[in-house]
Amino acid sequence: LFVNAPMSSGAVLSLGKDQSLYLAAVLRKRVGDETVVFNGRDGAFLGRLTRDSKKAVELELVERIAEQSPASDLWYGFAPLKNERMDYVVQKATEMGVGTMQPVLTEFTQVSRLKQEKLEKNIIEAAEQCEVLSVPRLEPEIALKSLIEQWPERHGSRRLVLADEARASASPVGALSELNSDPVGLLIGPEGGFSDAERELLRAQSFVVTISLGPRILRADTAAVAALAVLQATIGDWR
Ligand code: SAM
């Protein structure tokens, strides 16, 4: 359970309404029962219920059971998608070990307003489900042109892996093998793809490495998971 509060052995946490209801009513936890809590900064703790009211569960932190894992340094940029596909993308990116996510507004992006809070809630739920202790950061959206202009100054030597269906030929493994253990970023386009001008601008950047995910056109949310899996298989876990 993610609880955004300082954690140390012996501390007592008072949970909010939603989490109290979840523990006391859904999981039917009672005083003396235990659960695992984390805050994304101090590792994971075994918490024991000292109060099981549906409105205000209290937990005493018995002991730390896992050290805080180092944050992932994989950056993931994605053109915002509509509603539940957006939720899906941030959940899968969390499960696949992304450290920082940033919505990138492109010419054909069909979504204007992003629900930052809803996306952050999805990220936390995914982190709870896949037991990743360092919760990925969601950065405010940025226009593709600004992302490119600011890249060297904000990302240093990090290479940007561009998933582009126009490169059906090259095998991703070959293109990625030159990256060895450099920190990487991944960029996935919108449902309508990148415009030709955007593709040209991206290709002209020395920090961009373009990969194909095969000869078929994948939906943007499919491409996200496929690209993250290819990166994990070739570059390895991204610490
Ligand atoms: N341009 C097409 C269109 O207009 O529908 C496809 C865009 S695709 C739905 C969205 C994004 O997924 C693309 O911008 C690209 O980043 C990624 N993608 C989809 N299929 C891919 C493939 N075979 N190889 C690499 N990237 C792919």
pTM of the prediction?
0.90
Residue nearest to atom 5 of ligand 1 (CA): 192
Provide the pLDDT for residue 237: 66
In short, whether 224's Cβ falls inside 6 Å of ligand 1 is: no
Q: Cα separations (Å) of 136 from 35, 121, 224?
A: 22, 11, 16
6-58 pLDDT, tens digit per residue, is 999 999 999 999 999 999 999 999 999 999 999 999 999 999 999 999 999 99
Give the torsion sign (CA, 167, 169, 175, 176). positive
Residue nearest to atom 13 of ligand 1 (CA): 189
| Residues 160/203, Cβ–Cβ less than 8 Å | no
Q: How far is residue 5's CA from residue 9's CA, in Å, rounded to a whole number?
A: 13
What does the longest C-alpha to C-alpha distance in the chain come to?
62
104-150 pLDDT, tens digit per residue, is 999 999 887 888 999 999 999 999 999 989 999 999 999 999 999 99
In short, whether 12's Cβ falls inside 6 Å of ligand 1 is: no
Residue type, 21: L
Residue nearest to atom 3 of ligand 1 (CA): 192
Provide the pLDDT for residue 239: 47
In short, whether 218's Cβ falls inside 6 Å of ligand 1 is: yes
186-227 pLDDT, tens digit per residue, is 999 999 999 999 999 999 999 999 999 998 999 999 999 999
Quote the ligand 1 centre to 190 CA distance (angstroms): 8
| Residues 202/148, Cβ–Cβ less than 8 Å | yes
Q: How far is residue 76's CA from residue 25's CA, in Å, rounded to a whole number?
A: 37
Quote the ligand 1 centre to 234 CA distance (angstroms): 20
